[in-house]
Amino acid sequence: MGDLEGSIAWYRHMLGFELVRVVDIPEGTGRVALIRRGDFIVELFCVPGAKPLPDERRHPAADLLTHGIKHIAYAVSDIAALMDELKAGGVDVVWDVVVHDGDKCAFVRDNSGNLVEFVERR
């Protein structure tokens, strides 16, 4: 995350996370923000000079061609209502609601281009 404060604000505004704390990474190599929604905690790292997210990691189909953890997926009860709310807030939509293997899903990008998925199970 190149803009830690911007990322904290994005997750707060778009997904309802709250800031737990910001701490320095040992040896002065950067900072990490811990944000929480319910029992779920996400760590947002900011390291000066880090490379931005490559373009191929910004779309679900292209991202599958790189090994590693792909993205966070949140289970939601009403994906259509959530997506309407996120779009009204100006979120960067990658895939609006589609049906995959019987479940509804959608993808957005956070302020740093990271993929975030929402799934409404049947």
Q: Quick one: 86 and 31 in the same domain?
A: no
Tokens 């704390």, residue? 21
Residue 78 near residue 120, CB atoms below 8 Å: yes
Alpha carbon distance 70, 116 (integer Å): 9
Q: pLDDT, tens digit, for every residue of 3-59? A: 899 999 999 999 999 999 999 998 878 999 999 999 999 999 999 888 888 888 888
Q: Which residue has the higher pLDDT, 119 or 61?
A: 119
| Residues 81 and 97 both lie in one domain | yes
**Residues 38 and 62 grouped into a single domain:** no
Indicate if 42 and 99 belong to the same structural domain: no
Residue 115 clears pLDDT 60, i.e. is over it: yes
Count of alpha carbons within 13 angstroms of residue 77, beta-carbon side: 0
Whether the predicted pLDDT of 66 surpasses 90: no
Are residues 57 and 117 located together in one domain of the fold? Answer: yes
Written as six digits, the tokens of 14 are 């778009």
| Residue 60 predicted with pLDDT over 70 | yes
pLDDT given at position 74: 93
| Residues 63 and 111 occupy one common structural domain | yes
What's residue 6's pLDDT?
A: 94
Please report the pLDDT score of residue 58 as a whole number.
86
What number of other Cβ atoms are within 10 A of residue 117's Cβ? 17
Whether residue 105 sits in one domain with residue 71: yes
Same domain, 92 and 79: yes
Q: Are residues 39 and 59 in the same domain?
A: no
What per-residue confidence (pLDDT) applies to 103?
Answer: 93
Total domains, the chain: 2
**pLDDT category of residue 1 using cuts at 50, 70 and 90:** low
Start-to-end CA distance of the chain, whole Å, equals 34
Residues 70 and 122 in one domain: yes
- 117 vs 28, higher pLDDT: 117
Range of the domain at 98: 51-122
CATH code at position 97 = 3.10.180.10
Whether 81 and 23 share a structural domain: no
